[in-house]
Chain A
Amino acid sequence: MTLAESAPLQEPGFEGRPARVRAELAEEVAVALAGSLNLRRTVLRLLDAVRPELGDWAAVALLDSRTGALSLFGGDDPGFTAMVSRRAVSGLDLERVLRTGQTEILHVAPETASADGLVGLVPHQALCEQAAALRPVDVLGLGLTARGMTLGALVVLRGQGRGYDEDEIVEAERLANRAALALDSARLYEERSRVASALQASLLPPELPDISGIQVAARYRPAIEQLDIGGDFYDIHGVGDDWLLTLGDVCGKGVDAAVLTGRARQSIRTAAHFERRPSELLSALNTVFYEDASDRFITVVCARLRPAPDGESAEVELAVGGHAAPILLRADGRVRQLEAGGTVVGVLPEAEYQSATVRLERGDTLLMFTDGVEEARGEDGFYGLDRLLSLLPTYAGAGADALCGAVEQDVVEHLAGRPHDDIALLAVTCGGAVAWQT
């Protein structure tokens, strides 16, 4: 059957439906798809928008640019999806559409209107059977092409022996082009999101390891909470009885800062393979970041923790680069900020750092924190170091996790919903929690 022979007819029983594809339909479809950046939702809206004017039945095939596989959507069941391999459509009309972006028309002779005749554009048995049941005379395969790339095909057909004329095919192609732009945007957005999540996952704070005889805890509240990453960081790595803890802050917030924290963490990890002394590690980090020649810098605490085999004590050697020194909370409630200091990392061509040492006994906790704690601005001003120091004795002996939780809660209450800088806490308690009563 040729195109001319399949000129559409207004059949009895279809009076209520538009007989032809209006020129406005392409615009209406574009508007319907404009709001969505979710690829699947965009496809479903497209299927919805083209029926019944462009077809009584519609399906979309989308190419996965990485695997070459085809995702099929549509048909009678709105939730239907299926995957078929590129090889499965090899040599079929649909493959030609995907390769060339050109429209393919499958004419179906009425006497052979079985599922077999439609498989060229509908390469899935269940879909094919639905389509065949409508007894179509024409099946249109429209390329969905955007930015010079065919990302899929829209397949439509009409029931009851009604086909498409040439003017309608021109309108259908126009519609497909508009739809392809929306699908392309949604796909691009999904890909970007996927890339962003993968990068973000690599920048998230690490899981805390189990260290024999030591309880470790941390908290992390980025300034931009939806982002989960920010300018504060902590890390803890090592084996057996030799661990390195770092906590720091790079200037800035958000993604740019997070990228730098990732580099800082990784630089320290790498350097730690060759050098375990915190003061030397910070010198190396300083040199690396100074050579960066940006106005970025890092404040950081680096502590080497060596638990005794009996779990009753641990030696801590630490160095501080322009950061608030850690707080030592003894099991009996005595609390003090350690005396340690050094230049911020990445500002001077060469910087030397002093080591300080402290011995943790059972129940003692060492708390590292970033300036987001002190600088949390509440109704009555900054949270401040004094408030932190006066909070802690209550939690003497409670263990690192309870202590971090208490500090976080107190700071959050102080903020009372106000915006804040990144906040990070990292605490270690020797011997874990000891008998502690509220």
Chain B
Amino acid sequence: MELSVVIHRPGAQTVVEVHGDIDIATAPVLTRELKALLDQGGHQHLIIDLGVVQFLDSTGLGVLIGAQKQAASQGGSVVLVCTNPRLLKILRITRLHRVFTIHPAVADALAQVTG
């Protein structure tokens, strides 16, 4: 399964749109992309759009957590956009819905972060 990301900057926030499954095979790609953004500076407020992601395993969660830790160390945050019930269930079981703010759409995430 392929994974690709599209990066937008609609304002002060950076939106990372993820396409594909996030699992052991593809996680390194996402790690690399997110780390590159955070290392650059100026992207510490990340919105990760998982709107079209169908599968997220524990390795994928690790990537999100790694990004959150790095963003937090720069005074930023990671916000997730997700509506897939499977993914929401995983985030709920792991209680990561309390670590990340989760929104149903990018527009909501942007409104909340800027507002």
Interface residues of A (CB under 8 A from B): 231, 249-253, 293-297, 299, 322-324, 341-344, 347-348, 371, 375, 382, 421
Pairwise interchain contact A293-B61, C-beta atoms closer than 8 A = no
Offer 8 A-B interface pairs, CB within 8 angstroms, sorted by A: A295-B63, A295-B65, A297-B65, A299-B94, A322-B93, A343-B98, A344-B65, A347-B65
A-B contacts at CB below 8 angstroms, number: 63
Asked whether any CB of chain A lies closer than 8 Å to the CB of B42, the reply is no
Pairwise interchain contact B59-A251, C-beta atoms closer than 8 A = yes
Are A322 and B94 also in contact (CB < 8 A) when A252-B58, A253-B59 are? yes
Pairwise interchain contact B69-A293, C-beta atoms closer than 8 A = yes
Asked whether any CB of chain A lies closer than 8 Å to the CB of B62, the reply is yes
Asked whether any CB of chain A lies closer than 8 Å to the CB of B7, the reply is no
Alpha-carbon distance A371/B24, docked complex (angstroms): 14
Pairwise interchain contact A296-B62, C-beta atoms closer than 8 A = yes
Pairwise interchain contact A375-B57, C-beta atoms closer than 8 A = yes
Contact residues in A for B69 (Cβ distance below 8 Å): 293, 295
Q: What's the nearest-Cβ distance from chain B to residue A378, in Å?
A: 14
Q: Binding site of A, secondary structure by majority: helix, strand, loop or mixed? A: loop
Residue of A nearest to B95 (CB): A343
Pairwise interchain contact A324-B58, C-beta atoms closer than 8 A = no
Pairwise interchain contact A297-B62, C-beta atoms closer than 8 A = yes
Pairwise interchain contact A252-B94, C-beta atoms closer than 8 A = no
Contact residues in A for B62 (Cβ distance below 8 Å): 251-252, 295-297
Contact residues in B for A421 (Cβ distance below 8 Å): 57-58
Residue of A nearest to B31 (CB): A295
Give 1 or 0 for each of B48-87: 1 = CB within 8 Å of chain A CB: 0000000001110111011111000000000000000010
Are A299 and B58 also in contact (CB < 8 A) when A324-B93, A341-B93 are? yes
Q: What's the nearest-Cβ distance from chain B to residue A421, in Å?
A: 7
Contact residues in B for A231 (Cβ distance below 8 Å): 58
Pairwise interchain contact A249-B95, C-beta atoms closer than 8 A = no
Alpha-carbon distance A348/B96, docked complex (angstroms): 10
Pairwise interchain contact B61-A251, C-beta atoms closer than 8 A = yes
Residue of A nearest to B96 (CB): A344
Asked whether any CB of chain A lies closer than 8 Å to the CB of B36, the reply is no
Pairwise interchain contact A297-B61, C-beta atoms closer than 8 A = yes
Pairwise interchain contact B96-A347, C-beta atoms closer than 8 A = yes
Alpha-carbon distance A275/B52, docked complex (angstroms): 44
Alpha-carbon distance A403/B93, docked complex (angstroms): 24
